């Protein structure tokens, strides 16, 4: 039996905590952390997208997984600046899976891709290392798998100061 994949965005280092946000900021030469300035890139943020971190039984594979950026929840619109101007850049930074969390990590470097609206990111290697874009729940549906992502934002020179809203989204197929 296969139930819907259990997707979580988690930190890439121990204790691999569930993320409550992806904090984009930039560092000054003196080491101070500041909001990202117009015309600048943020510091890179590395996180993992897990399927079934809890290693429950009978969890489906997240097939044809792609990362996307939209204006917000329950919409596929991309009229706001972050999505429409494709501020968010992502590339795969690794993969792994195991019968027990957090899984065994293998480095893999994908291609830097600006995402937003119809521009989505397709992973090069799946959680097992095969050439496909999917996250398995371990090798048998009873473990965990993940894809590691390196991400940053590139703020246009024309951006105005303030808070820019957007949502990161993992789209995938699955079967029962």
Partner 1 sequence: MISDSIQKIEREDISHEHSYFLITFQDGSIADERNTNWSSFSEERQAYMLERSKTVVVCTHPVKNIKIFHNGLIADLDVPEDCQVYQAQKSQAIFVNGAVKTMVIGRTVGLIREDKIVLERYLDGMSGNVVGVEV
Task: Give residues in contact with partner 1 (CB under 8 A).
Answer: 1-2, 4-9, 19-22, 60, 62-64, 70, 72-76, 132, 134, 166-176
Cα 89 to Cα 14, 53, 59, 65, 85: the distances in Å are: 24, 25, 29, 17, 11
CB of 4 to partner 1, least distance (A): 6
CB of 56 to partner 1, least distance (A): 14
How far apart (Å, rounded) are the C-alpha atoms in residues 64 and 31? 40
Sign of CA dihedral 95, 64, 52, 46: positive
In terms of CB distance, is 21 or 32 closer to partner 1?
21
Max CA distance (Å), the chain: 55
CB of 19 to partner 1, least distance (A): 8
In terms of CB distance, is 28 or 128 closer to partner 1?
128
Reduced to 3 states, what is the DSSP secondary structure of residue 111?
A: coil
In terms of CB distance, is 40 or 95 closer to partner 1?
95
């Amino acid at each position: 039996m296969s139930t819907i994949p259990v997707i979580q965005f988690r930190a890439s280092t121990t204790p691999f905590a569930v993320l409550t946000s992806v904090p984009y900021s930039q560092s000054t030469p003196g080491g101070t952390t500041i909001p990202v300035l117009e015309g600048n890139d943020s510091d890179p943020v590395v996180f993992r997208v897990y399927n079934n971190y809890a290693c429950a039984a009978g969890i489906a594979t997240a097939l044809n997984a792609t990362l996307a950026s939209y204006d917000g929840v329950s919409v596929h619109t991309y009229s706001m600046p972050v999505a429409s101007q494709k501020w968010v850049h992502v590339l795969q930074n690794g993969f792994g899976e195991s019968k027990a969390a957090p899984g065994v990590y293998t480095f893999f470097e994908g291609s830097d891709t600006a995402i937003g609206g119809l521009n989505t990111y397709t992973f090069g290697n799946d959680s097992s290392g095969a050439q496909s874009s999917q996250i398995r729940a371990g090798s048998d549906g009873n473990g965990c798998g993940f894809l590691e992502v390196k991400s940053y934002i590139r703020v246009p020179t024309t951006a105005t100061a303030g808070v820019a809203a957007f949502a990161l989204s993992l789209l995938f197929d699955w079967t029962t």
